[in-house]
A and B are shown apart, each in its own frame.
Chain A
Amino acid sequence: MTRTIVYTSANNAYLDRAMVLEATLRQHHPQWEVALVLVDELSEDKRIRSALSRFDTVVRPADLGPQWDSAWIFGHDVVEACTAVKGPALMHFLRTGADRVVYLDPDTAVFAPLSSVVEALEEAPVAVTPHRLTPATTDASIRDNEMGALLCGVYNLGFLAVNNDSVGREFASWWASRLRDYCLDDTPRGLFTDQRWMDLAPVYFADLAILRDPGLNVASWNVADRPITVTKSGDYTIGGATLKFFHFTKALGVGPAMTLRYAGEDIHVAELWRWYLERLHEAGSQLPSSRPWSWANYADGTPIALRHRREYRARRDLQRHFADPYSAELRAWMERNLTD
């Protein structure tokens, strides 16, 4: 039987989202192994331990190799760190002998078997989903969605699927190496964490499949082009295909309103959001309410400023001199030398 590992990446704060994803994956793909890359220290809290036990495998950055240690994490904010580890984790899961590995963002939820993904991997070593499948038709959508895609990447890396063949492994190695040093939210320099890198992938890896199934990776940035209908038998079809997974970006922030902005009068999208927020609340209620990131502060409890992280990441001399960047010495150096 084909062995499939599907993994997500989250810190403890996003554990509630990962729990919802895990439950929906089990429902539609009970044979798949579900793994979590936990970008946080392992908590002693029983509720967090219980949540982690839902996953078949939990790996931490340190498990992925010495170059992904806490000193490397210091150079990244939480989003960058959680994103960057997707690359080495892909290599890790391929090394375990899985036939194929699928990545899903923790804030996605699966509503039907990912059949079109499985079919695509019959032929292609790598499969990605574009943010959009059709040209925008309103100025607002051009600016928000098309120009957003030009800025942040053509493909949304809330999803990625890779075969364990030579091209797939080569792809994973290339991607992970870029993410080690250049997984940055620095759009003026053409970088947006892992996504802009993927714009190059169809050139480097010619057989890469660009999935055009409108039921995959539905989100605020494409929902306007994919009208949802509910059949008499209760199936959700989107743009004519079965809804397979929805990307609930910024669930506790502007996500619902942003989706409304493009979904218009489509009440079915509101129903998806209602369901997701309810499940998120239920998952969150099983966890401690405060789940701070382990690497948010210096050892003395002082929050690490983003510019400190940037400075440390950019300067090899600092990295050499301060082997433990969380120390009071580095903080003092930063406060002395970075005055703004």
Chain B
Amino acid sequence: MSSNVRRLATSYLSRLLPGRRTSVALWAFDENFYRAQAPEGLQDGQDAFDHYSSEGWRRALDPTPWFSTQAYLEANLDVAAADICPFIHYIEQGRREQRPLQDAGRVTPNPESRESSGPASRSRRGKLPRRRSAEELAHALVDADFYTGMYPDVAAAGLSAGSHFMRYGWAEGRDPNPWFSQSAYLFANSDVRDAGVNPFVHWLGEGRHEQRPLGQRSVSAWGLVLAQKSIEDVAKDWVGERASFHYAVEDVIKKVGARSQEGGKLLVLVGSDDYRHNLGGVQLCLRYEADHFRSAGDDVLYLHPLIPLPMLALDEPPALQPILNGEPLPVVRTEDVATLVREICSRRGRTLNRMVIHGLLGHSPSALVEQAAALRVDVDYWVHDFLAACSGYQLMRNNVTWCGAPPVASTSCGLCTHGRQRSAHIDNFAPLLSYNRLSVCAPSEVAAERWMDATGFPGKVEVVPHGYVAQPAAAAARPRRPGPPTLAFLGHPAYHKGWEEFLMVRKWALSRGDMQLAHLGSDDQSLPGVRFIPVDGSTEGGMTQALLRIGVDAAFLWPLIPETFSLVAHEAIAAGCQIVTNARSGNVVVASERCGRDLTFDDSRQLKRALVTGSLAALLREQPLGPPSDFVWSGLTPARLGASQSEGAR
């Protein structure tokens, strides 16, 4: 037990409200009683409470003589469906809600029968009272707050939530409460789907007794996995019908205007797409560097593939779109880059500074580094992702599960959508990583460590953060606004950014009414119960200002992969928000811990427990907001080249 106390004591969450309640569960736990049940798998010296709370309750073992695990789960189906430890649920929430410790199991159709319910009356009358039918139970278990919040159109029907669900909602695929997903249940139980019956009624009447799976998260993840196409097929979709282009480097050179005044340098920037028109952290980095060097009087030549690809151009070096000081030039072949660069330097009186690479999707790194070698130019490669290890640059096997870049010949790679071309991918990248004038730079320690681990790069990786959150003069905490706390998802609603987890948050927030939700970004999902705030990612400080304007208490940043920097996390910290995240989120958890703004969960299961019991909302209510501040760009190439050159930075 002492080890558990230590664990709880060192957990950030345990210092707060739910942790104290868990401590109550710990002290109420009867270790001798539990061990007397001789739980299978409980080793000598193993913490008994840990064993119960992780697996013992699943085997219907009891934590104390007065608490029946099975009876509590039977009496509280939402707890059973939520798949959380029932004893901790009872201590943390069930007691306050006066939840039954066991199922009364009887309907009370009229006052007379209500009086006659229970074991005593049964013995008096010698007749068992009628149990609730599955239909009655289903009707009673429709969560009105959840249902009307998820489906605002129901109000127009003039029916109660329960009646609407039983009459129409189930057939329309609507969910009755946050813990039962019709689509998940039907996906996992095709015979129920074929029968065309109300899935919730089926589960209550039969499925739960047959221990049928509810599905929930697994179904969405299964569906996502099964829908994945190989990266080669995805690339074909991106390319579509290829137009033919005329490539003549002489035509390009003719367009390069001469410069009246000699001097200055030429910086060659390389990226995966046109940063002027696309949004994202890498594009902002490119813009920052281009603006910096142009404002210092230098030329900036930006090269991106004419046809964007989700992988490297492995068949042949691609055509590139050159953009000189913001003005597009005619298309060139990768093989002509050295000629073009020399001509620009010659015609415009520039000396070549360096080549800075921020993205290589759609490029041929081997062909590009040949051009760099011909120019004898220094190359900086920035670690924004893990593309150097795999075309799945997030290192998610089948775009779902973190893989960490195992050996190419492994079963893991063999099963992955990126697996078949990974060997060619690595071969194409190798000349760049072994280029003798290469510097590798990462925006965080965690990015550097993970990248070196994934690539096996033997050299040094320089850590240069993109920027920092300025400390305001008056760094005092601010009180939060009254009312339920606001939790906001920031950015693109993608699976790997934790959108599925945010949808889970939404379900429980609608049911409990203990949090307000928002989504700040550019991709409106039009979800009832989630306030969408458009934020233009190209406006500096726009996210921070929006968070301050609508009074967001916490940002929900739940990447399924380690983020290399996360601008949005820094912008949220600058807005004084707490950061709700997971322990594997890379620099999100590192940066927010450093500022003392993190609410870090081990995994989505622990998050779910905090949602079901309401402890996340309680945590957010207790936490003051940080002082408003700004994110200050200070890193990237200007920082590497010296403070004197970085004065032109924003």
Chain A contact residues, CB within 8 Å of chain B: 111-112, 138-141, 143, 230-236, 243, 254, 256-258, 260-261, 263-268, 270-275, 277-278
Contact = CB atoms under 8 A, between A and B. Distances in A.
23 contacts: A112-B411, A139-B211, A140-B210, A140-B212, A230-B403, A230-B412, A234-B407, A234-B410, A257-B190, A260-B213, A260-B218, A263-B218, A265-B218, A266-B218, A267-B225, A267-B400, A267-B401, A271-B416, A272-B415, A274-B226, A275-B414, A277-B226, A278-B229
B168 interface: no
Contact of A233 (B209, B406, B417): B406
Nearest to B411: A236
Contacts of B210: 138-140, 143
Contacts of B398: 271, 274
Nearest to A242: B411
> How many residues of B sit at the interface, in one of the four size bands?
35 or more
Given A139-B209, A232-B406, A256 B413 contact: no
B411 A234 contact: yes
B211 A267 contact: no
A260 B222 contact: yes
Nearest to B215: A260
A111 B411 contact: yes
Contacts of A111: 411, 414
B222 A270 contact: yes
B188 A234 contact: no
Nearest to A259: B222
Nearest to B402: A230
Nearest to A143: B210
A333 B606 CA distance: 70
Contacts of A143: 210
Interface in B357-413: 397-398, 400-401, 403-404, 406-407, 410-413
A261 B218 CA distance: 10
Given A141-B211, A234-B412, A268-B401, 20 more contacts: A138-B211, A230-B401, A230-B412, A234-B407, A234-B411, A235-B410, A235-B411, A236-B411, A243-B411, A254-B190, A257-B190, A260-B188, A260-B215, A260-B222, A263-B218, A267-B225, A271-B398, A271-B401, A271-B416, A274-B417
B11 interface: no
A197 to B, nearest CB: 30
Given A138-B211, A234-B411, A256 B226 contact: yes
Given A232-B404, A261-B188, A264-B213, A274 B412 contact: no
Which of B189, B209, B221, B411 counts the most A-chain CB atoms under 10 A from its CB? Answer: B411
A272 B411 CA distance: 10
Contacts of B222: 256, 260, 267, 270
B61 interface: no
A52 to B, nearest CB: 25
A233 B410 contact: yes
A278 B212 CA distance: 28
Interface string B203-223: 000000111110101110110
A261 B226 contact: no
Interface of B is mostly: loop
Most central of A254, A266, A270, A272 by chain B CB within 10 Å: A270
B228 interface: yes
Interface of B: 187-190, 209-213, 215, 217-219, 221-222, 225-226, 228-230, 397-398, 400-401, 403-404, 406-407, 410-417
B213 A261 contact: yes
Contacts of A140: 210-212
Nearest to B410: A234
A261 B225 contact: no
A263 B400 CA distance: 17
Contacts of A234: 403, 406-407, 410-413
A148 to B, nearest CB: 14
A267 B188 CA distance: 14
A265 B404 contact: no
Contacts of A231: 406
B189 A274 contact: no
A57 B230 CA distance: 32
B205 to A, nearest CB: 14
B221 A275 contact: no
B225 A260 contact: no
A257 B218 CA distance: 12
Contacts of A267: 218, 221-222, 225, 400-401
Contacts of A263: 218
Contacts of B218: 260, 263-267
B404 to A, nearest CB: 6
B211 A270 contact: no
A272 B414 CA distance: 10
A242 to B, nearest CB: 9
A271 B415 contact: yes
A295 B222 CA distance: 38
A266 B219 CA distance: 10
Nearest to A261: B188
A270 B188 contact: no
A241 to B, nearest CB: 13
B220 to A, nearest CB: 10
A275 B400 CA distance: 14
A252 B501 CA distance: 30
Contact of B228 (A256, A265, A268, A274): A274
Nearest to A266: B218
A254 B416 CA distance: 23
The 4 closest A-B pairs by CB, nearest first: A234-B410, A234-B406, A234-B412, A138-B211
B411 A261 contact: no
A233 to B, nearest CB: 5
Contacts of B219: 260
A260 B220 CA distance: 11
Contacts of B400: 267, 271
A145 to B, nearest CB: 12
Nearest to B189: A261
Nearest to A278: B230
A278 B231 CA distance: 12
Contacts of A257: 187-188, 190
B407 A233 contact: yes
B494 to A, nearest CB: 17
Most A C-beta atoms less than 10 A away, residue of B209, B213, B404? B213
A271 B224 CA distance: 10
A271 B410 CA distance: 14
Nearest to B222: A270
A332 B401 CA distance: 60
A257 B193 CA distance: 12
Nearest to A265: B218
A25 to B, nearest CB: 14
B188 A271 contact: no
A270 B226 contact: yes
Contacts of A230: 397, 401, 403, 411-412
A271 B211 CA distance: 24
